[in-house]
Amino acid sequence: MKKITFVTTNKGKIATAKRYLGNANIEVEPYNYELIEPRTDDIQEIAKQKVLQAYDIVKQPCIALDSGFYIEALNGFPRAFVNFALDTIGTQGILDLMKGKENRKCSFKECVAYYDGKDIKYFFWESKGMLAEEYKGEDSKNQWSPLWHIYKDSFNLNKTMSELTDEEREERSKVSGSSLEEFAKWFKNVD
């Protein structure tokens, strides 16, 4: 079985990586460390800087993942500044900004960066959906972000990600994909 180190403190990201990479017979070795995130709006640049830091810490091939949340009616806000938005205005603040707006289209975008000490490779994915009218659902061990309580993925626009059952989330992952899945397809063929 192949192995890859994933440096992050986000338990939801680790659980998701284990699911996607485990399906490709790749073992995820979590390394719990808070990486410094550069101040930029570019998720690829953030993932790059994080994977370079991660490699300096673990001294072996590793991955880092960054994502952004983009609300069409708010000109893409909060973009890659999700944590800042959640720390300052929270999910309720985001919902307040959307009061009276008909266009509720939004998306998550992800970038996985892989670095082996020599080459960096990038893997991208986007999940399109709609912003809910209100905060709904329960916390989950697989949850990456409180945004799951206000995001309805195109897989099921009747429920927020937090309202989906584990079975529904598993079914969604089979049809919607992930940057981790794209990475797994490539990595399983690397010598």
Residue 147 to residue 135: CA distance in whole angstroms: 9
Quickly tell me which residue has 């626009």 as its tokens. Answer: 157
Buried b (16+ CB within 10 A) or exposed e, 75-87: eebbbbbbeebbe
Instruction: Determine whether 66 is an active site residue.
Output: yes
| Under 8 Å between Cβ of 7 and 54 | yes
User: In this structure, is the dihedral angle defined by the CA atoms of residues 23, 27, 29 and 35, taken in order, positive or negative?
Assistant: negative
**Active-site option among 66, 87, 153, 191:** 66
Active site (catalytic) residues: 66
